[in-house]
Structures are given as C-alpha cells and as structure tokens.
Amino acid sequence: MAGKEWTRREFLGLGAALGLGLAGCAPQQAGTTQGPAAGGDQPRYGGVLTVWTGGDPPNYDLHQNSTYMVLWPLAPCYNLLVQFDPQDPNRIIPDLAERWDVSSDGKIYTFYLKRGVRFHHGKPFKAEDVKASFERIIWPPKGVVSPRQGAFTAVDGIETPDDYTVRFVLKRPNPSLLPNIAQGWNVIYPKDVLEAKGDMKKDVVGTGPFKFKEHVRGVGIELVKNPDYHVEGRPYLDGIKYFIIPDPNTALSAFISGQLLMYRPRLKSDAEEARRQLGDKVVIQTVQSYSFDTLNVNARRKPWDDPRVRLAVSLAIDRNAAIQVLAQGDGVAGGFMPAGGQWALPPGEIARLPGYSPNKAQEIEQARRLLAEAGYPNGFKTTMLTRKGADYEPISVFLKDQLAKVGIDAALDVQESAAAYDRLNQREFDSVPWGHAIALDDPDAVYGEFYLCKSERNYSGICDPEVDALFERQSQTLDPNERRRLVWELEKKALVTQTKIILLWRLDRTIHWSTVRNYRRHPSLYNNQRMQDVWLAEA
C-alpha cells in the first residue's frame, strides 16, 4: 500500500480486515472538521471557555499519567501524530502526520509529517520529536512510568529517514496500531526539552492551539490562545480556564450560575437539574462511555492472594444493585471490554459468569462456602482505601455493605486524591474501589494497560500466563471475526482471575451551555479535549 492514497471505501475495507472498526485517512489538512454550525451559525472568534475539573493534576507529564485531571487542562497545548475525528469518534484523521502508508505485509507504517509547525518555545517540529516521544512511551527509560506501553508490544523500532518522515517497524502485523497511536495521551513532546529535563512533569511545551499560562493549586489552570498555531484560522477561543471544584454540588451551582460553561456531572440527576433550571440554554450529551467502576484487591497480600477469596468477593457483589445505587440506573453490567462495544461478551455469556448471575442468594451461599474452604468461615477484617469526595466515597460505602453479607468487615481508609493515587500506584492497599476510564474500545489498549502480567495498571498483581498468551494471539489476528472469537475466549479466561472486579460500565455525560458550539462528547474522557474547533456564540 506504499504511496497509495486511500478512498473512504478502501479504508473502510481495510479497517474491517484489520478489526479496527474505524474510518478515515484519505490525506487531508489536519483540523478541517469545522464547517457552518447547526442552524446556519458561522464560527466567531473570541471569548474564554470555562470548564470544570475535579482536582489538581499531580504533575504535567501526560505520558506518565492516567487521570483526566492531567489530560483535560493540558490536551489543548499539544498535538498527536494522528487523532480521532472531533466530530466522529469512529474515524481516525491526520494531525501532525498529514498522511500515512502501510506496507503490504502490514509491518511498516510510514507517516509523512506536516511542515512549518513550531513548538511553543520556538523549536521547529520534526521527526525526531515523534521518535523521542514514542520511544519513551513504548520503551520508557528508568524512572519513567508508561501506563500505555502494553498497547505497543508489536513495535520493533522507530525510524526517521528524514526530518518529516517517521517509520514504525513492527515485529508482526498489528490491527490496533493506529487507534492506539491516536489515544489522547500520546502527545508529541519536543526532543530538546525531554533531553534537558528528563520528563515533562513541570513543563508544558507543545505545538497545540493553546499555551499554558498558569496553574494556581486548588483554584484553576489557565490557557491562552497560540497566535502561531499551525492550523489556519484556529483556535477560535481566546483562552480556556479550568476551575478546580472537587465538590459536585458546588460545581453544579457554578454551572447553573454561568461561571462554568462546561461540566461533567457524574449523576444523571445533576444533568436533569441543570435542564430543569436552564431549559434549552443547556445541552446534555450522553454516551455509553468507556468509564467503569471497579474493585481492585491486592493479591500480593493475604487473604487476597487466594483465588477463592477473590471469587467469593465477586460473587457477593450485586451488580444490578450497583447500577441502581451508584449510577441511578444509568449503567450496564459487563466484563473487561466496554459493555455494548464490538469486543464485549454478549449479555447471555456475561450472565453465565460467576458473580453475574441474577440469582444472588445462590451466589452468596457459594461465596460463604469458598471463604470457609479458604480458612475464613466467619469472614475476616480488611481495610478499604477510599478516595475522598462525594464522587468517590459512595462506591466504598456500597462495597462495604456488599462484603458484609459474607462476613467481610471492611474499614474505610479515606484519603485525599493525591495520597490515594500515590498508595494505589505504590500498591500500598488491601483493597481499593476506583473509577477507571480507557481511551478506546480496543483489546490491545485495554488488556495492555490493565490485565497482563506486566501491565502498568495491573494494581492487583495477578499474573496468568494463559491470559498473556491469548492476548498475543488475538493481537496479531487480522480476520475480525476470528479476532472477536479470541477476545471472547480471552474475556472468559481473564475475568475469573479477578484482576479487577468490574461493578458496572457507566453512561456518561457532558453538559454545556448552548452558546458552546462545535463540541462533541466522545465515549472516552481522553479523546477530543483539544478544543481547537470550539467557539462561543456569545464571545
């Protein structure tokens, strides 16, 4: 396919063959998704978009983080090699790469880069920056954490034939390479800053439509327009301000009063309250999201090292009750792959797995028998690390009640978000409920990040070589039907290890004032956060 310019139909055919479920890639100018807005409105310049975020970023290095508190306020400062179309989450389009070719054997991806791009500190963007960025993602140096490196196990090397060409050389064909490159986390850093600083924890230097202005801890983060942005006519906004508001009631009040123009309420009732008070002045965008609630247990510690104990806990949890209590009925039971997605086990298959049966009384009795077999006929005491805040504590309270049904007494250890993240990353916990999100519905991305022996976010420390072997098989299978069959086999095998105990997959929503135009919520929290095409009808 080298040198070929693909039509939409041809690319769709390739996507089906590779199991991508994606469209796009006829060469085009990056950032040209904006046309006249609905109702005939024309984009206008000016104004500052005010957006909610729940807390301070622990640092500024997107490659090393996995919380939206880092990505949301910093994504507008960066570009990606390729990106998910801001107006169509099922398409991949150019960004810093204007176009790309794939070799006939599927093992070489060649990206042709945009010229005339400069980083915010003045350095011209070149192929060396792409190479340096992805090498630290795929083969992180000592001291660098890379949560998404597991999605790139097929990559053998990265070459730069010239300043505006980058070549990814693969060990084997990999149908997931393009969507994984397009994850919102995989921003391009300047090579010179990486070499001088070693990381980007204190620096924000990208090529994006906005520049970092200031961060006042506990208050907010402010970005200003990049007047030299390489996409002509963008951005429309003069700037973006992210207000740090941990309490959801305070955040909702700030939205209704107009201080915030965009907010992500965790509960459906908050969105409905905004609609009740504001009427058609508010837009509610709801998606079946890539966000899920889960319980992590630490298999490095007793009694969680015993698979019977882990299974007993999964059996004890009423997932239908979790959906009603935690998500106001706004969720779906599922496995490791996003519920309702192309790789998810069918609901009938899910219902046959331990912990998912509608007969909870029977499963609770089975859980008690397993605990007795493991030496805990009367249950045991444990500690549940809990992230402080109205958005996070309810899941721990719910799980404490569920575990009590089989004699497990869980004391809640409530910690501020920063401390909870530190202990989670250092594996200093017995059990820890958490809300996670993923960037795309792709087996390589999901398993590579969470469920393999060496996955960076395998917080439970559970390692099953058979799961890793099945992962490798599906990862290089080009026939989409056969790959789906292998992923279902992988799900059935992996779910019973209880690497994570999945409670539910959420419906998720973003609400914004109707004056905010040309923003489309993607299923993932981590895509379409650059805001380069967003404009305000009242600047």
311-340 pLDDT, tens digit each: 999 999 999 999 999 999 999 999 999 999
pLDDT at 474: 96
Q: Is the pLDDT of residue 17 over 90?
A: no
Where does the pLDDT of residue 86 fall: very low under 50, low under 70, confident under 90, or very high at 90 and above? very high
pLDDT at 391: 84
Distances (CA, A) of 307 to 272, 311, 350, 375: 42, 6, 20, 13
Q: Is the pLDDT of residue 3 over 70?
A: no
Could you give the angle at the alpha carbon of 188 between the alpha carbons of 187 and 190, nearest 5°?
Answer: 140
User: Positive or negative CA dihedral for 382, 387, 392, 394?
Assistant: positive
Q: Is the pLDDT of residue 5 over 90?
A: no
Mean pLDDT score of the chain: 91
pLDDT at 134: 98
pTM: predicted TM-score of the whole model, two decimal places = 0.86
Mean pLDDT of the 19-47 span:
49
pLDDT at 23: 35
Per residue in 119-144, pLDDT (tens digit) is 999 999 999 999 999 999 999 999 99
pLDDT at 407: 97
Q: Is the pLDDT of residue 382 over 50?
A: yes
Mean pLDDT of the 89-99 span:
95
**Cβ(404)–Cβ(371) under 8 Å?**
no
Q: Per-residue DSSP letters for 444-458? A: HHHHHHHTSTT-TT-
Q: Is the pLDDT of residue 36 over 50?
A: no
pLDDT at 417: 86
pLDDT at 14: 37
Neighbours of 400 (CB within 10 A): 18
What is the spatial distance between Cα 275 and Cα 252, in angstroms, rounded to a whole number?
Answer: 11
- Please list, in sequence order, all residues whose beta carbon lies within 8 angstroms of the beta carbon of residue 407, skipping any fewer than 6 positions away: 368, 371, 376, 378, 379, 380
Q: Strand 262-263 relative to strand 431-437: parallel, antiparallel, unpaired?
A: unpaired
Could you give the angle at the alpha carbon of 249 between the alpha carbons of 412 and 400, nearest 5°?
Answer: 20
Where does the pLDDT of residue 32 fall: very low under 50, low under 70, confident under 90, or very high at 90 and above? very low
List the beta bridge partners of residue 437: 291
Where does the pLDDT of residue 418 fall: very low under 50, low under 70, confident under 90, or very high at 90 and above? confident
pLDDT at 24: 33
pLDDT at 248: 94
Mean pLDDT of the 165-174 span:
96
pLDDT at 335: 96
Mean pLDDT of the 160-186 span:
96
Q: Lowest-pLDDT range, 47-51, 212-216, 389-393, 451-455?
A: 389-393
Per residue in 467-501, pLDDT (tens digit) is 999 999 999 999 999 999 999 999 999 999 999 99
What is the spatial distance between Cα 260 and Cα 226, in angstroms, rounded to a whole number?
Answer: 22
Q: Is the pLDDT of residue 190 over 50?
A: yes
pLDDT at 390: 85
pLDDT at 63: 98
Neighbours of 115 (CB within 10 A): 12
Which carries the bigger pLDDT value, residue 12 or residue 463? 463
List the beta bridge partners of residue 508: 287
Per DSSP, 131 falls in state H
